[in-house]
C-alpha cells in the first residue's frame, strides 16, 4: 500500500481490495493503522500520501544517491563536447561534480547555472 501511495499519491479502497484479494474492511483497517502511524491520510474512498508530491530529499542525500550513474552520465556528456564548444550546465546533483569530464572541457566555454562548486569547473574551462 505504501509503495502504491508513494507512486501514485492516492489509493482507493476498492482497487486495493481487488489487488490484494481481501475485503474493503481489511483495507480500511490497514489504512486506519497507516494513518495512526502518520504514513497516510484517509479520505473519502481511500487514502492519500502524507508526503507532498513536490517533496525532494535533502541535497546531501541526493548528492550521494546513484553516484556511479551520475559519473557515467557526466562521462557520456563529456564525450559529446568538442574543442571550442560552449557548454551550459544547469542546477542539479548530477551536474555538480565535473570530475568525469574535466579533460574534455579544456577549451570549452562553460556557463554554470547554480552549480554548487563552480571553482571545480573553472580550473579547466573558461567559466562564466
Grid coordinates given for 33: 493503522
pLDDT of residue 97: 59
pLDDT over 70, % of the chain? 70
Higher per-residue confidence, 60 vs 45: 45
What is the overall mean pLDDT for the chain? 77
What is the value of pTM for the model shown? Answer: 0.44
How far is it, in rounded angstroms, from Cα 36 to Cα 114?
40
Residue 21: partners with Cβ closer than 8 Å, 6 or more residues away: none
pLDDT at residue 26 greater than cutoff 70: yes
Amino acid at each position: 500500500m505504501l509503495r502504491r501511495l508513494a507512486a501514485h499519491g492516492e489509493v482507493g479502497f476498492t482497487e486495493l481490495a481487488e489487488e490484494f484479494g481481501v475485503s474493503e474492511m481489511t483495507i480500511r483497517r490497514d489504512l486506519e493503522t497507516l494513518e495512526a502511524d502518520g504514513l497516510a491520510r484517509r479520505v473519502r474512498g481511500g487514502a492519500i500520501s502524507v508526503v507532498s508530491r513536490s517533496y525532494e530529499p535533502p541535497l546531501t542525500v541526493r548528492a550521494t544517491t546513484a553516484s556511479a550513474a551520475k559519473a557515467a552520465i557526466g562521462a557520456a556528456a563529456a564525450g559529446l563536447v568538442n574543442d571550442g564548444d560552449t557548454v551550459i550546465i544547469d542546477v542539479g546533483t548530477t551536474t555538480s561534480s565535473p570530475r568525469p569530464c574535466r579533460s574534455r572541457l579544456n577549451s570549452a566555454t562553460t556557463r554554470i547555472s547554480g552549480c554548487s562548486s563552480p571553482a571545480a569547473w573553472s580550473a579547466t574551462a573558461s567559466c562564466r
